[in-house]
Amino acid sequence: MQLSPKEQNFLNDAKSQEILCIKKYNNYANQAQDPELKQIFQKLAGKEQEHLNSINQILAGQVPAMNQQNQQNQNQQQQQTQRQASWQGQTGFVNQQDADLCHDILSTEKFASQAYDTAIFEFKDANIRQVLNHIQKEEQEHGEEIFNYMQSKGMYKVQ
Protein backbone atom coordinates (compact mmCIF):
# COMPACT_ATOMS: atom_id res chain seq x y z
CA MET A 1 0.00 0.00 0.00
CA GLN A 2 1.38 3.35 -1.05
CA LEU A 3 0.36 6.38 1.02
CA SER A 4 0.35 9.87 -0.43
CA PRO A 5 2.35 12.57 1.37
CA LYS A 6 -0.94 14.12 2.53
CA GLU A 7 -2.12 10.79 3.96
CA GLN A 8 1.23 10.33 5.70
CA ASN A 9 0.89 13.80 7.24
CA PHE A 10 -2.57 13.00 8.56
CA LEU A 11 -1.29 9.74 10.04
CA ASN A 12 1.70 11.45 11.64
CA ASP A 13 -0.65 14.03 13.17
CA ALA A 14 -2.86 11.21 14.46
CA LYS A 15 0.21 9.45 15.84
CA SER A 16 1.23 12.60 17.73
CA GLN A 17 -2.30 12.97 19.09
CA GLU A 18 -2.37 9.35 20.26
CA ILE A 19 1.00 9.70 21.98
CA LEU A 20 -0.29 12.81 23.76
CA CYS A 21 -3.45 10.98 24.85
CA ILE A 22 -1.43 8.05 26.20
CA LYS A 23 0.83 10.40 28.17
CA LYS A 24 -2.10 12.37 29.55
CA TYR A 25 -4.11 9.31 30.56
CA ASN A 26 -1.11 7.71 32.28
CA ASN A 27 -0.15 10.95 34.05
CA TYR A 28 -3.73 11.65 35.05
CA ALA A 29 -4.18 8.11 36.37
CA ASN A 30 -1.29 8.84 38.75
CA GLN A 31 -2.77 12.20 39.78
CA ALA A 32 -6.44 11.28 40.14
CA GLN A 33 -7.77 10.97 43.68
CA ASP A 34 -10.85 8.86 42.91
CA PRO A 35 -9.92 5.17 42.41
CA GLU A 36 -12.75 4.82 39.88
CA LEU A 37 -11.33 7.68 37.82
CA LYS A 38 -7.83 6.19 38.04
CA GLN A 39 -9.21 2.96 36.60
CA ILE A 40 -10.99 4.79 33.77
CA PHE A 41 -7.81 6.68 32.87
CA GLN A 42 -5.72 3.49 32.92
CA LYS A 43 -8.19 1.66 30.71
CA LEU A 44 -8.40 4.52 28.21
CA ALA A 45 -4.59 4.78 28.08
CA GLY A 46 -4.61 1.17 26.90
CA LYS A 47 -7.21 1.94 24.23
CA GLU A 48 -5.15 4.89 23.01
CA GLN A 49 -2.14 2.56 22.78
CA GLU A 50 -4.22 0.29 20.53
CA HIS A 51 -4.98 3.30 18.34
CA LEU A 52 -1.29 4.17 18.17
CA ASN A 53 -0.48 0.60 17.19
CA SER A 54 -3.06 0.78 14.38
CA ILE A 55 -1.65 4.07 13.09
CA ASN A 56 1.87 2.61 13.14
CA GLN A 57 0.65 -0.42 11.18
CA ILE A 58 -0.87 1.82 8.52
CA LEU A 59 2.32 3.87 8.32
CA ALA A 60 4.20 0.59 7.81
CA GLY A 61 1.95 -0.27 4.86
CA GLN A 62 -0.43 -2.67 6.61
CA VAL A 63 -4.15 -2.37 7.25
CA PRO A 64 -5.00 -3.46 10.83
CA ALA A 65 -7.60 -6.21 11.23
CA MET A 66 -10.82 -4.77 12.65
CA ASN A 67 -12.82 -7.93 13.49
CA GLN A 68 -11.11 -8.63 16.81
CA GLN A 69 -11.22 -4.95 17.76
CA ASN A 70 -14.94 -4.77 16.98
CA GLN A 71 -15.67 -7.68 19.34
CA GLN A 72 -13.58 -6.10 22.10
CA ASN A 73 -15.37 -2.81 21.50
CA GLN A 74 -18.81 -4.44 21.85
CA ASN A 75 -17.78 -6.03 25.16
CA GLN A 76 -16.48 -2.70 26.45
CA GLN A 77 -19.69 -0.91 25.40
CA GLN A 78 -21.71 -3.40 27.45
CA GLN A 79 -19.48 -2.80 30.47
CA GLN A 80 -19.77 0.96 30.02
CA THR A 81 -23.57 0.76 29.87
CA GLN A 82 -23.57 -1.19 33.14
CA ARG A 83 -21.28 1.43 34.74
CA GLN A 84 -23.52 4.26 33.52
CA ALA A 85 -26.51 2.65 35.19
CA SER A 86 -24.59 2.46 38.47
CA TRP A 87 -23.43 6.10 38.14
CA GLN A 88 -26.92 7.57 37.86
CA GLY A 89 -27.83 9.51 40.94
CA GLN A 90 -24.32 9.48 42.39
CA THR A 91 -23.27 12.95 43.33
CA GLY A 92 -21.18 14.14 46.16
CA PHE A 93 -18.08 16.06 47.00
CA VAL A 94 -16.35 17.26 43.85
CA ASN A 95 -12.59 16.92 43.94
CA GLN A 96 -11.40 19.98 42.02
CA GLN A 97 -8.17 18.32 40.87
CA ASP A 98 -10.07 15.37 39.43
CA ALA A 99 -12.56 17.78 37.80
CA ASP A 100 -9.70 19.71 36.17
CA LEU A 101 -8.16 16.49 34.85
CA CYS A 102 -11.52 15.41 33.44
CA HIS A 103 -12.20 18.74 31.76
CA ASP A 104 -8.77 18.71 30.14
CA ILE A 105 -8.96 15.13 28.89
CA LEU A 106 -12.51 15.67 27.60
CA SER A 107 -11.22 18.60 25.53
CA THR A 108 -8.38 16.42 24.28
CA GLU A 109 -10.84 13.71 23.21
CA LYS A 110 -13.01 16.27 21.41
CA PHE A 111 -9.98 17.49 19.47
CA ALA A 112 -8.86 13.94 18.61
CA SER A 113 -12.32 13.05 17.32
CA GLN A 114 -12.40 16.15 15.12
CA ALA A 115 -8.94 15.39 13.73
CA TYR A 116 -10.01 11.87 12.75
CA ASP A 117 -13.22 13.20 11.20
CA THR A 118 -11.17 15.33 8.81
CA ALA A 119 -8.60 12.61 8.12
CA ILE A 120 -11.24 10.05 7.16
CA PHE A 121 -12.21 12.12 4.11
CA GLU A 122 -8.62 12.43 2.90
CA PHE A 123 -7.82 8.71 2.41
CA LYS A 124 -8.44 6.96 -0.88
CA ASP A 125 -8.26 3.42 0.59
CA ALA A 126 -11.66 2.35 1.94
CA ASN A 127 -10.06 -0.08 4.42
CA ILE A 128 -7.97 2.67 5.98
CA ARG A 129 -11.01 4.94 6.15
CA GLN A 130 -12.80 2.13 7.99
CA VAL A 131 -9.95 1.84 10.52
CA LEU A 132 -9.87 5.60 11.07
CA ASN A 133 -13.64 5.66 11.42
CA HIS A 134 -13.41 2.92 14.05
CA ILE A 135 -10.76 4.89 15.97
CA GLN A 136 -12.85 8.06 15.76
CA LYS A 137 -15.87 6.19 17.13
CA GLU A 138 -13.77 4.98 20.05
CA GLU A 139 -12.49 8.51 20.69
CA GLN A 140 -16.12 9.63 20.93
CA GLU A 141 -16.84 6.76 23.33
CA HIS A 142 -13.87 7.81 25.48
CA GLY A 143 -15.28 11.32 25.63
CA GLU A 144 -18.70 9.94 26.49
CA GLU A 145 -17.26 7.85 29.31
CA ILE A 146 -15.44 10.86 30.76
CA PHE A 147 -18.57 13.00 30.33
CA ASN A 148 -20.75 10.40 32.09
CA TYR A 149 -18.27 10.14 34.96
CA MET A 150 -18.17 13.93 35.28
CA GLN A 151 -21.92 14.29 35.17
CA SER A 152 -22.39 11.53 37.75
CA LYS A 153 -20.02 13.32 40.13
CA GLY A 154 -21.53 16.75 39.64
CA MET A 155 -18.53 18.01 37.64
CA TYR A 156 -20.43 18.70 34.42
CA LYS A 157 -23.84 20.29 34.32
CA VAL A 158 -25.81 20.18 31.09
CA GLN A 159 -27.74 23.45 30.80
The answer, yes or no, to whether residue 65 has pLDDT greater than 70, is: yes
**pLDDT score, position 87:** 42
**Average of per-residue pLDDT across 39-45:** 98
Q: Residue count of the chain, please give it.
A: 159
The answer, yes or no, to whether residue 8 has pLDDT greater than 50, is: yes
Residue ranges of domains in the chain: 5-152
The answer, yes or no, to whether residue 84 has pLDDT greater than 70, is: no
Nearest-angstrom CA–CA distance, 17 and 111 = 9
Nearest-angstrom CA–CA distance, 15 and 129 = 15
**Mean of per-residue pLDDT scores for the chain:** 87
Which CATH superfamily groups domain 5-152?
A: Ferritin, core subunit, four-helix bundle (1.20.1260.10)
Report if pTM > 0.85: no
**pLDDT score, position 128:** 96
Residues 6+ apart with CB under 8 A from 124: 4, 7
CA-to-CA separations, 65 to 69, 95, 152, in angstroms, rounded: 8, 40, 35
The answer, yes or no, to whether residue 32 has pLDDT greater than 60, is: yes
Nearest-angstrom CA–CA distance, 95 and 51 = 30
**pLDDT score, position 152:** 92
